[in-house]
A and B are shown apart, each in its own frame.
Chain A
Amino acid sequence: MQKLYDVIIIGGGVVGSAIARELSRYRLKIAVLEKNLDVCFETSGRNTGVCHGGFAYDPGTLKAKLCVEGNRMMGALAQELDFPFKRTGKVLVGNTDEEYEQLGRVMRQGAVNGATGLSMIGEEELHRLVPSVQAKFAMLSRNSGILDPFLMTIALAENAHKNGVEYHFDSEVTGIRRSGNENVWEITTAHGDTYAARWAVNAAGLGCGKISDMLGIRGYKIIGSKDDYIILDQRLGALVPMPIYTVPSNTYMGIHVTITTDGNVLLGPTAEDTDNLSYYGTEQKNLDYLYQEAMKIWPHVKKSDYIRTYSGILPKWVDDNGKIQDFKIEIRDDLAPNAVNLVGIESPGLTASVAIARYVIDMMKEREHFAENVDFDGTRKGITRFALLTPQEQDALIQKNPDYGELVCRCEKVTKAEILQAIHNPLGAHTMVSVKYRTRCMMGRCQGGYCQMRISSMLEKELGIRPTEITYERAGSHPFFGVVRSEAESRREAQ
């Protein structure tokens, strides 16, 4: 008989991890089953990293309500969990009378939704705030901001883990059944492991439709909206003090020019419907289109500043006519008792994640009393970023730990001490991208040209694994077929 959990959360993205963290406030035995080898390898890590204001959603929807709530709590959350977040504000820019009217509508809608800090600004004010933009007027959303989606997800997951939540990676759920006499969920994974739990939570993101079907709540139609992005060099960040958007509809934000918390500029997204929820390839026509559209509002794009392109997919719940629906968060006592079903959690899921988690827990608590976990510690400390310190602080850190004096990644100035902490992360995620997302190594303009060899070597050494066991990101993504010369290897080891 396997261990009985109180709650199994399917999906370790930002929503699953937020639910795990919020549930760890109670005395519950919780596990997260994640199909990838780390958190945020899908939608949670493949987005714009913007903290939305909540004005671009139909009034009365969960998207509007939870986005506004999520935005309000982001500052305190970022402090508690030590992840990068800046309330930069954001502008939605336009040129025509029609666009002006549309922005007025967006602003009124925002007010109904409870979004605050919205105002229309003229050309002069716009250029004072964002000198590099090309437009006549804008709607300013003062409370919008930017956050690091990787570190936010990792922070939530690590804090959940600190409070007793187990994370199981490489654990794709392939079967769920209700065990009749015991009233528990039996959840089977692709590797044949079985977990039993009193509660099941579907936070599977792109897999939400599949898991919903497995839970017995059938019929949700999920399509993917695939977004291609271009990342530009960090030096351009100074030209983009806040995200620059065009006039949105309530289902598509338009091409925008944003910055990351580290100063890289992002161009995107393209938003194309797709049935393939696991294909992350970019398309030439999309990259060309992004360039052309971004240049209209921000005429500073140079192809020599490209450092990477990527793609993300948002799971959208649509009706039979293909119309995009609200977030669905439900407990179907009739079909799947003690299961929380989250369907179509797309944008603004990152902003709303903790608000979603609290909403979920309120629903669960209507059905069961949860005893408070008196040992809950809601704080988490991330890895200290050497590059962001003053020379005096850097020196003090090196005196305590000389590994801080050894630079491994030159572009992002990441030290050996940081890489070591990332390799030994509390969640036990061991891919090269796990180290990348936690430290920013390999994320700079040379894209790991200088540091990747050092990082794979450190992974081998620290984890005691063979070269062929190094994994880049997804299962099976092994950079090495073996050693070049075995006799050379013994010499290398002896050194």
Chain B
Amino acid sequence: MIRENIDTLIVGGGPAGLAAAVELWKKGMRSILIVERERQLGGILRQCIHDGFGLSRFGESLSGPEYAQKFIDEVTALGIPYLTDAAVMNITGSRLVTIATPGGIREYQAKSVVLTMGCRERTQGALAIPGERPTGVFTAGVAQAYINLYNRMPAREVIILGSGDIGMIMARRLTLEGAHVHAVFEVQPYPSGLPRNIEQCLNDYHIPLYLSHTVTKIHGSSRLEGVTVSAVDAHMKPIPGTEQYYPCDTLILSVGLIPENELSLDAGVTLDPRTHGAIVDENYMTSVPGIFAAGNVLHVHDLVDFVSMEAERLADHVAEYVREGSLPPCTLDVHYDTDINHVIPQKVSGANPFRLSMRVSHVMKNAAIEVRQNGNLIAKKAVKKALPAEMIQFDVPADNLQTSGDLEVTAVQR
């Protein structure tokens, strides 16, 4: 068994982990290691062969693998150490990290740990859709992996539940590969994915999107034979009498992503029930000193560019933590009203500027996001159309911040 000390161990070699590593290296950090459980770096981007990545980060439209490759090339050029085929088994609160590799078990005592594990998809089981359990019910990401990475065709006649971005992208992908996508159903009264995907993936292919509808029963004992779809009321409860049967052999689920925080919980990291990610301060440090988080493991992002950029911001603070052994305490809470779904960070110092990331909880037109402390307006961002599908991000300057008094974030209809 190998045992080593290290300054920074990065868990996960996807768009967040790679960006954090490159940035840390550029800041002179040399005792770092990326740990990736797959054979190759790149994370989920490896299976996202559509384009549209990179507009914010690189100023050009790239496919997922191309976007990842930009970072991988940099990691390779800089000589940043990484382990692939290496699965983190456990992280303790004192940052002892145990890793399984084909060469044996390795243990690292890390000064800092960067959590960049990404997220997983919500499943049929988590939704508890009633009915049978045939094959032919796949999450969008699983169908995407089968088609794009494994060359396996899992679908012919398709219904999609959920208007998440991957679901819509798979509607287009399945259509291009000869499957027949009958419809997309969304339980909420608004789409959960980005407007551009509704245009490019559904409207362009004449695939109808039905809002306020959900699948209420799954039929078939071997392969899926059909689904029952019902309209739902304002509380998202199925309305009796609206049931309609759709014959299909495949149900694709795009019903939400859950940050993958099982290792974080093992380490004793406190999670936010809204984001299902860690509660972090303005330095992206979790409730466990020396353990940081960024990207989709922290909160589900809309664009991968923002995942990488968040991880790059995190790197500044990790470098400071490793150098100084601690960071200024963040004791002020960031509160928010019911129009807002969540905010990152949840804790601040009041001494430093920070980037606020948030989503609204319902569609708002001509909204203004306001940050207040002790009655003073600290920052304000006008948003023409605020959608739950889109992250809102802006910098909160330190000028008017005070080191006592919690912050309040509100969404105001103008």
**Which A residues lie at the B interface, using CB under 8 A?**
230-231, 235, 278-284, 286-287, 303-304, 306-310, 386, 391-392, 394-395, 398-399, 402-403, 405-407, 410-411, 413, 415, 445-450, 452-453, 456-457, 467, 472-485, 488-489, 492
Contacts of B149 in A (CB 8 A): 453
Contact, CB under 8 Å: A307 / B125? yes
Instruction: Tell me, yes or no, whether B98 is within 8 Å of chain A by CB.
Output: yes
User: How many residues on B have C-beta within 8 angstroms of the other chain's C-beta atoms?
Assistant: 53
With contact pairs A281-B218, A309-B130, A411-B262 given, residues A473 and B135 touching in the complex (Cβ less than 8 Å): yes
Instruction: Tell me, yes or no, whether B139 is within 8 Å of chain A by CB.
Output: yes
Contact, CB under 8 Å: B120 / A402? no
Encoded as 1 (CB less than 8 Å from any A CB) or 0, chain B from 208 to 232 comes to 0000000011110111000000000
Contact, CB under 8 Å: B100 / A398? yes
Encoded as 1 (CB less than 8 Å from any A CB) or 0, chain B from 84 to 106 comes to 01010100000000101111110
Contact, CB under 8 Å: A398 / B105? yes
The list of the 7 closest CB pairs from A to B, nearest first, reads A308-B125, A472-B135, A405-B102, A407-B87, A476-B222, A395-B105, A477-B222
Instruction: Tell me, yes or no, whether B338 is within 8 Å of chain A by CB.
Output: no
Chain A, residue nearest B155 (CB): A481
Distance of A410 from chain B, by nearest CB (Å): 7
Contact, CB under 8 Å: B217 / A484? no
Contact, CB under 8 Å: B153 / A482? yes
Q: How far is the CA of A213 from the CA of B89 in the complex (A)?
A: 54
Binds A, one of B50-58, B140-148, B186-194: B140-148
Chain B, residue nearest A305 (CB): B126
Contact, CB under 8 Å: A477 / B134? yes
Q: Can you name 19 extra interface pairs (CB under 8 A) apart from A391-B1, A394-B105, A480-B153?
A: A231-B125, A235-B265, A281-B130, A283-B130, A303-B128, A308-B123, A391-B89, A391-B107, A405-B102, A413-B89, A445-B126, A449-B139, A449-B142, A453-B146, A453-B152, A477-B222, A479-B152, A484-B153, A485-B151
Distance of B250 from chain A, by nearest CB (Å): 9
Contact, CB under 8 Å: B153 / A477? no
Instruction: Tell me, yes or no, whether B335 is within 8 Å of chain A by CB.
Output: no
Instruction: Tell me, yes or no, whether B233 is within 8 Å of chain A by CB.
Output: no
Q: How far is the CA of A475 from the CA of B222 in the complex (A)?
A: 7
Q: Which of B130, B139, B142 contacts A287 (CB 8 A)?
A: B130
**Which B residues lie at the A interface, using CB under 8 A?**
1, 37, 85, 87, 89, 98, 100-105, 107, 120-121, 123-128, 130-136, 139, 141-142, 145-147, 149-156, 177, 216-219, 221-223, 238, 262, 265
Q: How far is the CA of A391 from the CA of B223 in the complex (A)?
A: 41
Contacts of A457 in B (CB 8 A): 150
Contacts of B127 in A (CB 8 A): 306
Q: Which of B89, B128, B145, B223 contacts A478 (CB 8 A)?
A: B223
**CB<8 Å pairs between A and B, sample of 8:** A284-B130, A306-B126, A402-B102, A447-B125, A449-B121, A453-B150, A453-B152, A484-B151
Q: How far is the CA of A130 from the CA of B30 in the complex (A)?
A: 50
Contact, CB under 8 Å: A474 / B100? no
Contact, CB under 8 Å: B37 / A398? no
Q: How far is the CA of A104 from the CA of B125 in the complex (A)?
A: 39
Contact, CB under 8 Å: B132 / A453? no
